[in-house]
Structure 1
Amino acid sequence: MRAKPTPLGAQALPAGLVVRSLQDLKLVQKRLAQQRAEAEALAVARREAEVKRQQANRLFELAVGPVTRLHPPNKVLLNNDPPPPIPVQHQLDEQRVLLESISDDFDVSSLLDTDDALSFRRPGISVEVTRKLRRGEWSIQSQLDLHGLRTDEAREALGQYIREAHKLGLRCVRVVHGKGLGSPGKSPVLKGRVQSWLVQKNDVLAFVQARPAEGGAGALVVLLRPSPGGH
């Protein structure tokens, strides 16, 4: 007679397995024993891993020694204003001005071309440059008028003007010194001085007397050296 399916009490059967005989019952017991063994093995592995982790932490503590938490420093962080920048470029400009200071005692007569207008060109500058200046082939980009200034005021104004014009990248400027008609003796006081001052400025490459429509004998057309930042 074939036995009816029998439950195993409190023990759960593997899914889909029905006990129909004693042989089936033994098979179920075997599978349940395997499951219990696997669960115990997994639990043992987890306990061993935890023990190893704790031992590793203990080894680190033994190697480092006692650890004391650092107390926060008794400091107050203030948002102080940064120190003012050092005007290095301004200082360099001032030193350059001192090095290029112009003198009233400089004799320029030997440096001027002995033509009708007494033009000037530095060594290495061709005669064609002054010819082009006379013909107006260089466009005048700026002008300085020294009328009404004393000699010391005119000297300072001219030095500053040439320095700033060169820094701005200007190449051709006009300096009006006047014909001296209002001076005692009707002689041009500033004309010779301006020529002497311009010769002493390293930024000046050449100058010529202006054309009649641009001031004639009362003005000079000046060619400046190209500046590093100019065009």
Structure 2
Amino acid sequence: MGDDANHNASTDDENRLFQQEMAGVKPLRQHQAQTSGKSDTIPEFTKALRRRSAATDYTPPADGLSDTHIEPIEPEQPIEYLKAGLQNSRFKQLKQGHFPVDYNLDLHGCTIEEARNLLTRFLAFCQDQHYSCVRVIHGKSHRSFGQQDTMKSYVNQWLRQINAVQAFCSCLPRDGGRGAVYVLLKTRR
């Protein structure tokens, strides 16, 4: 017990000495929240998109594009979609390349997030300009085959979700073949 009494006495002395040294000291007030430094883990392209979005008046369309389930598309697999209500004859004309292409969007070199932003803005712009048929070049993704995150797979999914899109299909070889799609847009009234 003698050792415990000596230990308690020395602890009491240390506490008293500490209290004397700290007399009159006031805690610092913080005006900023502590950060954990996690901002360094945000990819640079995401930071750039955030900066651009904050600097512009652009408001993303109400069509929120989901990417929760992306069906993998093979590089040479044709893709097509026909919204209910569109005449089959118009879809057949689209597939045969009978509509003049009013405008093009090339997504080569874009990240998935950049492509999503560009695609929604591009289609909104084209609809505002009263374009009826446009072409989106997504590439075939030969180097990424077997992975879900290919641009072709995302474009296939996103176009199905956008209200302005009536139909789309892989292009004829002269217009990019299976690395691009013709997109038929609704006309705004």
For 1:108-187, list aligned pairs within 5 A.
Answer: 117-183=78-144
**Gapped runs of 5+ residues in structure 1?**
1-89, 110-115
Distance 2:70 2:112 in 1: 16
**Gapped runs of 5+ residues in structure 2?**
1-55
Distance 1:186 1:213 in 2: 27
1:188, CA displacement in angstroms?
7.9
Q: Does residue 222 of structure 1 match 2:145? A: no
CA contact (8 A) 1:179 1:187 kept: no
TM-score, with length taken from structure 1: 0.51
Q: 1:104 to 1:164 in 2, by over 3 A?
A: same
CA RMSD of aligned residues (A): 2.6
Which structure would you say has the larger Rg?
A: 1
CA contact (8 A) 1:181 1:188 kept: no
CA contact (8 A) 1:180 1:188 kept: no
Amino acid at match of 1:204: V
Q: Find the counterpart in structure 2 of residue 104 from structure 1.
A: 67
Distance 2:84 2:142 in 1: 34
TM-score, with length taken from structure 2: 0.61
Q: Find the counterpart in structure 2 of residue 200 from structure 1.
A: 161
For 1:10-49, list aligned pairs within 5 A.
Answer: none
CA contact (8 A) 1:180 1:187 kept: no
Which residue of the other structure, out of 129, 149, 171, is the alignment partner of 1:210?
171
* Percentage identity across paired residues of the two chains: 31
Distance 1:186 1:200 in 2: 21
